[in-house]
Amino acid sequence: MSRTTFPDERKVEMKRGLVVAFLVGFGLAGSVPLLAHHSFAATYFEDKTQTIEGDLVQFAFRNPHSYVHLEAPDDKGQMQRWAVEWGSGMQLSTQGLTATALKAGDHVIVTGAPGRNPDDHRMRMRSITRPKDGFTWNGTFQ
């Protein structure tokens, strides 16, 4: 004897199937690492190098990018607040850095790729040195 299916049962089975398909798709999508990323070359002159020296205002150790903010003179000698983009907290921690590695008031020398808009006072970190104790970072990040 064959079973007769009623329209309401078909709707419930279809909804159940859609929910399962959605959950499987969502699970698969969540397990794939996100590879899309902005281009640093769109923001910075990767083929140029700039050095600034000044006092640290803030060290934002975070994801997706950490930042060092410092007060340093621009090319005209005027004090400016600079934002220096660095690697993610995860990347930096695998290189031995911690959120307490740098503190406000530290005098630092930063070398990096200058921002495309000089009025923004931005750089992409290449190296940082704290002369008082010889702390230096010369790493890479994506």
* 89, 99 contact by CB (below 8 A): yes
- Does 26 reside within a domain? no
CATH code, 109 = 2.40.50.140
Report CA-CA distances (Å) from 87 to 33, 121, 141: 17, 18, 5
72-83 pLDDT, tens digit per residue, is: 998 889 999 999
Structural domain includes residue 117? yes
Is the full-model pTM beyond 0.75? no
pLDDT in tens, 16-31: 766 555 555 554 444 4
The token pair that represents 130 in the structure block: 């704290």
Residue 10 lies in a domain: no
Q: Which pLDDT score, from 0 to 100, does residue 142 have?
A: 58
Give me the domain span that covers residue 62: 40-137
Whether 95 maps to a domain, the answer reads yes
Whether 115 shows a pLDDT value over 90: the answer reads yes
